[in-house]
Amino acid sequence: MSNRLINLENISKSYGSQMVLDDMNLYIRENEFLTLLGPSGCGKTTTLRIIGGFETPDKGRVIFDGADITNIPPHKRQLNTVFQKYALFTHMNIAENIAFGLKIKGKSKAYIDDKIKYALKLVNLDGYEKRMPDSLSGGQQQRIAIARAIVNEPKVLLLDEPLGALDLKLRQDMQYELIRLKNELGITFIYVTHDQEEALTMSDTIVVMNQGYIQQIGTPEMIYNEPENAFVADFIGDSNIIASTMIQDELVEILGARFACVDKGFGNNKPVDVVIRPEDVELVRPGEGTINGVVSHLIFKGVHYEMEVMANGFEWLVHSTSLFPVGTEVGIKVDPFNIQIMNKPESEDEEAAPIEE
């Protein structure tokens, strides 16, 4: 990744008595696909609006390509925003919608026509120039909104839950489209979503936010495999999060049983939280694992079975391609590498939070 394109320095923003962002620092590199991920009300859209110039921070600065743009209006920034509500002009055809920003800039007709063709090709809607927005499906309208943004050749494209209104299959298609566009155009994407899967699929970097604070920044793999606290672990995918005791380096006591792990440096006999992903729980014959339990719940999920196993007073979530019917006695085994140890949360923000839709 190359140089830093955008720097948010000590950004704070309140609405009335409600603090939405609290002393936030974040940098975004050129050509990066960066996703702001978190539950509603965590401050991700406010962050995007501050970058776009639709909101001014109470404190802090927005640096773009080395220049302070904190007080510069949106239309003078080298970025374009695509919202969830596509906001196409219903009385204009597709070509006129796409040309809108270029006309304001006083570009020539030949230049504009070229750009329209190029943008429609890019979003796979060749030949749609004369169509009206209301004759298009939601996915097509969304692609036109993206085409309208990219003809302006922004350095940065801001996307605020742009796929939120689309159905699942279409959303997945659009995710691949966006990755392709980013690679072809070489522009920076800043994407806001509360959909974990979307963030994991598309991003180079994920910024997990909760209650105005950044909880963790990292690659999708890092955020999934090495969550820094219970909030992140719980928000990104399913997890077994269990209050445990770190006996010593590489040995943790979970629900009264001792498991080997690979973590060090947590001290001796210290309370910790343990994260074990459901796909990392191995079910074996009773007595062959570290603890025994009974399968209490089972659903078939297509690729795998999702089971709940009651063991040592805890309901373990297990994903497995092998079927163990309800009532089966099983042993639970976990590879030491798949036991993730975390410090106990220092604040409520870091605790596992209920997932909002």
Q: What is the DSSP string of 67-93?
A: EE-TTS-GGGSSEEEE-SS----TTS-
154 and 202 in a single domain? The answer is yes
CA-to-CA distance for 339 and 262, rounded, in angstroms?
Answer: 8
Most confident of 125-134, 189-198, 251-260: 251-260
262 and 334 in a single domain? The answer is yes
Residue, of 162 and 115, whose pLDDT is higher: 115
Contacts 24+ apart (CB under 8 A), 266-271: 266/341, 266/343, 269/245, 270/245, 270/246, 271/243, 271/244, 271/245, 271/246, 271/344
Residue 21, beta-bridge partner list: 13
Of the candidates 266, 282, 278, the one whose C-alpha atom is nearest the C-alpha of residue 234 is: 278
Q: What is the pLDDT of residue 238?
A: 86
Q: In this model, does residue 256 exceed pLDDT 80?
A: yes
Q: In this model, does residue 268 exceed pLDDT 50?
A: yes
- CA dihedral (336, 346, 226, 301) positive or negative: positive
Total domain count, the chain: 2
Q: What is the pLDDT of residue 182?
A: 87
In sequence order, what are the residues at sequence separation of 6 or more whose Cβ sits closer than 8 angstroms to the Cβ of residue 136?
94, 128, 144
265 and 176 in a single domain? The answer is no
140 and 189 in a single domain? The answer is yes
- On whether residue 254 sits in a domain, the answer given is yes
- On whether residue 129 sits in a domain, the answer given is yes
Would you place residue 154 in the very low, low, confident or very high pLDDT band (cuts 50, 70, 90)?
Answer: confident
Would you place residue 86 in the very low, low, confident or very high pLDDT band (cuts 50, 70, 90)?
Answer: low
Domain of residue 59, residue span:
4-225
Of the candidates 206, 209, 162, 167, the one whose C-alpha atom is nearest the C-alpha of residue 181 is: 162
Residue, of 281 and 344, whose pLDDT is higher: 281
- On whether residue 187 sits in a domain, the answer given is yes
125 and 260 in a single domain? The answer is no
Would you place residue 353 in the very low, low, confident or very high pLDDT band (cuts 50, 70, 90)?
Answer: low
- On whether residue 355 sits in a domain, the answer given is no
Please report, for the domain that includes residue 157, its CATH number. Answer: 3.40.50.300
- On whether residue 83 sits in a domain, the answer given is yes
Q: What is the pLDDT of residue 167?
A: 79
Would you place residue 121 in the very low, low, confident or very high pLDDT band (cuts 50, 70, 90)?
Answer: confident
Q: What is the pLDDT of residue 123?
A: 84
CA-to-CA distance for 194 and 135, rounded, in angstroms?
Answer: 29
Of the candidates 230, 272, 226, 232, the one whose C-alpha atom is nearest the C-alpha of residue 249 is: 272
Mean of the pLDDT values across residues 7-31? Answer: 94
Please report, for the domain that includes residue 304, its CATH number. Answer: 2.40.50.140
Would you place residue 208 in the very low, low, confident or very high pLDDT band (cuts 50, 70, 90)?
Answer: very high
259 and 338 in a single domain? The answer is yes
Single out the residue in 161, 196, 225 at which a domain terminates: 225
Single out the residue in 170, 204, 225 at which a domain terminates: 225
- On whether residue 69 sits in a domain, the answer given is yes
242 and 221 in a single domain? The answer is no
Most confident of 1-15, 134-148, 214-228: 214-228
CA-to-CA distance for 231 and 354, rounded, in angstroms?
Answer: 9
Single out the residue in 198, 225, 252 at which a domain terminates: 225
186 and 147 in a single domain? The answer is yes
> Is the entire prediction scored with pTM above 0.85?
no
Q: What is the pLDDT of residue 52?
A: 94
Pairing of strands 251-254, 240-248: antiparallel
18 and 149 in a single domain? The answer is yes
Would you place residue 356 in the very low, low, confident or very high pLDDT band (cuts 50, 70, 90)?
Answer: very low
Interval 298-334: pLDDT, tens = 999 998 999 999 999 999 999 999 999 999 999 999 9
Would you place residue 1 in the very low, low, confident or very high pLDDT band (cuts 50, 70, 90)?
Answer: very low
178 and 295 in a single domain? The answer is no
184 and 327 in a single domain? The answer is no
166 and 253 in a single domain? The answer is no
Q: Which amino acid is at 137?
A: S
Residue 266, beta-bridge partner list: none
Q: What is the pLDDT of residue 313?
A: 95
Mean of the pLDDT values across residues 236-244? Answer: 91
Would you place residue 83 in the very low, low, confident or very high pLDDT band (cuts 50, 70, 90)?
Answer: confident
Interval 286-300: pLDDT, tens = 999 999 999 999 999
- On whether residue 165 sits in a domain, the answer given is yes
- On whether residue 356 sits in a domain, the answer given is no
As a whole number, the mean pLDDT across the chain is 90
Mean of the pLDDT values across residues 34-48? Answer: 93
